[in-house]
Structure 1
């Protein structure tokens, strides 16, 4: 193999994510897919095969989104996709969503749980492998396979359209599992075919036709079985969860990450701090998601839950919960993932804190020590943003992932 090519980036500055300082001017030397040197000395760019001049951009680590679903939303998506669109078309559309997300500056994501009928295929695992092989452009994907949910639970695909019996039968392998034995089988199936984490359903949801948003859906014993099965195989578990008691049960069961947590009370927020449990905030959707085309009862539910959710995330920020960014795209359109950072700042997080939520905290969540920083030895995931990102989060205009430029 030839020696790795050396590329230098010369930007307005480089953000040191740990100190919060911006190195000006900023030079980054990339060799192959790794960062070799960072600093203000233009000698860093000497002898490079290419120098990319980005005089108006501040360079930051590639952003991460810890909750997306590339197989929902996007070009031509419709409300009744589960019964009108086949898995092949969903996967092709997912490639468009992945490319759009990468070009927006998000170089790593978790595809957090399929809840569509696939015949047992793990479409997100296939997409992750295709991107890794270079067949299509997209962010690095940490796939969860099918979400594990009880019959009629929030992530049961037949629930969202309130389908009648037998309209869309879902198998245990596709995630609908009741009781500990079925749950263990469902988790083992996802792991067997390439899932890198497990997603499950701890409570109802705002878009659930089956009961209150906060109602606990899996028992504590069932949640414990999910966590046990995943942890013995070295995988983390994330759970969709809104209700206060449901969140507490998930934490007691050993689940690693709470998605949403909109209805948590103060004691539960403190429990998250004490246990080091991660929270993926998904707060932008509470003000940016257009729910006007949803059923009236779901719009009513959103009108009650979303205002409380805004207060909850502000309390979690103040308490010091480990918060990682997650847009819940397509609730926030694919490619507009950075709205989550902007909204975190509105909720009380500093701009640097929001950037860390999308970089170092997310890297900790997915156990990726070579992501989240622009520093020697790290993977060359680098984005460029106009102006000073510690003052204002703006649209990303330069994207490099693994040393390759995808947006210039």
Structure 2
């Protein structure tokens, strides 16, 4: 698939690939010696064990000696914690790497987008995020570069361009940009593959299939109003049931699923009726809808959204008010009702927030134990990624430290089950970061 995606990458980006970061080499075997394992599920660490990585998989975990080859790289754990790599299931790799001023600038180019997003991707991996789900934006060139090891970054589950109705949450047109359908001119955001404005079942089907053609692992549909968009109040419901069913069927034909942006009862209930498998946000939901989600196994991908800032537009502050108020209520309620919960950040157009990605994990401590938090940001988030089925770009088990699982691992200086704040300081506490069996950070003296 990577060769196919690369064939669509603009020539200017291919030129950048040629001068970007060198590939990270991996020893044929890596032995983590004398570590205690958080396996992604348990509420306690294992006893002292040795963990052998061979190629890109965890080959053996043993409390005794392990037979290794001559080319093994030994990492002395010294009783530290070995855990799965972190997973963020709601990122926008491009939108999170640029400011709104840069996005709207006449100087914006594909090369600038790629350079900014590449730098951000490397920093994200070095914060311990070995896998992410990108839920909207022009992600395919960056993902292709990461997978071909021309750029350093996490594994990416790409959605591609968001799919929105006219006047929906993904209608990013400026006031002077008119409807493509009536005036025949594609909007700037659509030209940059940020969104599809699609109305009617035929256009929705085409938009879904276009993203699948480029390698989307899941599809993001805008089913309700948003706080950062100009035209749609938060309370509005977007897309008819038939339009949404068409998207669900097209995705299911490719063995994958639809996730929707939605906050309200009406929007989410309509999405559930259409067969949607995941809801992004949902801060305004009540018990009735959460029970429906729990019964049908629909995932709730939640975030703790950033607080209002002093320079934020007053209209946006007003739109955000009920959503921010709902955050403190929705997390414990969804937990109580046993909804499938996943965690993400959803940083947009404020690149300085990316450095706080790990710190945002600690916002969960009000409602969850350290063990529950670690399970959510590793094992549980990995379960959501696997809804992509055969469209998943990386086949194998993630989010766990088990024999046969993919080797996405972090060696932590301390026990995060006892002190969850360790995950919020990756530069000091994450001594080794491994993705796909390759070491990208090594801060231990062998």
Q: What is the TM-score when the length of structure 2 is the normalising length? A: 0.81
Equivalence for 1:198: 219
Deviation at 1:164, TM superposition (A): 2.8
Identify the residue that residue 18 of structure 2 maps to in structure 1.
Answer: none
Q: 2:373 aligns with which of 332, 354, 370?
A: 354
RMSD: 2.4
Q: Residue deviations 1:236-293, cap 9 Å, x none?
A: 111111111101111111111100111001100111100100111112x2xx445333
Count of aligned residue pairs for this structure pair: 390
Answer yes or no: is 1:127 the counterpart of 2:139: no
Which position in structure 1 is the counterpart of 2:10? Answer: none
> Which residue of the other structure, out of 319, 323, 326, is the alignment partner of 1:301?
319
- Map of 2:284 onto structure 1: 263
Tell me, what secondary structure is at the counterpart of 2:225? coil
Question: Are residues 1:109 and 2:132 paired?
Answer: yes
Q: Return the alpha-carbon distance in structure 2 between the equivalents of residues 301 and 44 of structure 1.
A: 60
Match of 1:120 in 2: none
Counterpart CA distance in 2 for 1:264 and 1:81 is 32
Q: Select 2:272's aligned residue among 238, 248, 251.
A: 251
Report if the CA contact (8 A) 1:363-1:369 is conserved. Answer: no
Mapping of 1:311-326 within 5 angstroms? 311-326=329-344
Contact 1:145 1:198 in 2 (8 A): yes
Check whether the contact 1:38–1:44 (CA below 8 A) recurs between aligned residues. no
1:339 equivalent in structure 2: 359
Larger helix proportion, structure 1 or 2? 2
Alignment partner of 1:175: what SS?
Answer: strand
Residue 17 of structure 2 is matched in structure 1 by none
Which secondary structure does the structure 2 equivalent of 1:100 belong to? Answer: helix
Q: SS state of the match for residue 380, structure 1?
A: coil
Alignment of 1:274-289 (within 5 A): 274-283=295-304, 285=305, 288-289=306-307
1:163 aligns with 2:175: yes
The question of whether the paired residues in 2 share the 8 Å contact of 1:8 and 1:44 is answered with no
Determine if contact 2:130/2:153 at 8 Å carries over to the other structure: yes
Query: Hey, what does 2:101 align to over in structure 1?
Result: 79
SS of 1:55 mapped into structure 2: coil
171 and 301 in structure 1: CA distance in 2 versus 1, 3 angstrom threshold? closer
> Cα gap change, 1:179/1:83 in structure 2, threshold over 3 Å: closer, same or farther?
farther
More displaced 10-residue stretch of structure 1: 139-148 or 76-85: 76-85
**Helix, strand or coil: the match of 1:307?**
helix
Indicate conservation of the 8 Å contact 2:283/2:330, yes or no: yes
Q: Distance in 2 between matches of 1:384 and 1:78?
A: 36
Q: Is 2:413 the counterpart of 1:390?
A: no
Q: Distance in 1 between matches of 2:257 and 2:309?
A: 31
Does the CA-based 8 Å contact 2:56-2:437 persist in structure 1? yes
Please give the secondary structure, in 1, of the residue aligned with 2:234.
Answer: coil
What SS is found at the alignment partner of 1:154?
Answer: coil
1:399 paired residue number: 433
Q: Which residue of 2 aligns with 1:138?
A: 153
Distance in 1, matches of 2:68 and 2:417, equals 26
1:13 equivalenced with 2:36 (yes/no): yes
CA contact 1:216–1:246 (8 Å) conserved in 2: yes
CA distance in 1 between partners of 2:355 and 2:439 (Å):
17
Matched, 1:237 2:258: yes
1:123-158 CA-to-partner distances (Å, cap 9, x unmatched) read 412211211111110001111110000122112222
Deviation at 1:235, TM superposition (A): 1.7
Name the SS for the 2:201 alignment partner: helix
- Deviation of the 1:11 alpha carbon: 5.4
Q: Mind listing any 5+ residue stretches in structure 1 that lack a counterpart?
A: 115-122
CA distance in structure 2 between the partners assigned to 1:154 and 1:44 by the alignment: 56
Question: Are the equivalent residues in 2 in contact too, given 1:57–1:384 (CA < 8 A)?
Answer: yes
- The 2-side partners of 1:79 and 1:340 are apart by 25
Give the Cα separation in 2 of the matches to 1:11 and 1:401: 20
SS across alignment from 1:333: helix
Distance in structure 1 (CA, Å) of the matches to 2:86 and 2:34: 18
CA contact (8 A) 1:45 1:51 kept: no
For structure 2, the residue ranges without an aligned partner over 5 or more in a row are 1-25, 179-185, 387-394
Quick one: which of 197, 201, 207 aligns to 1:176? 197
Query: CA 1:380–1:171 in 2, change beyond 3 Å: closer, same or farther?
Result: closer
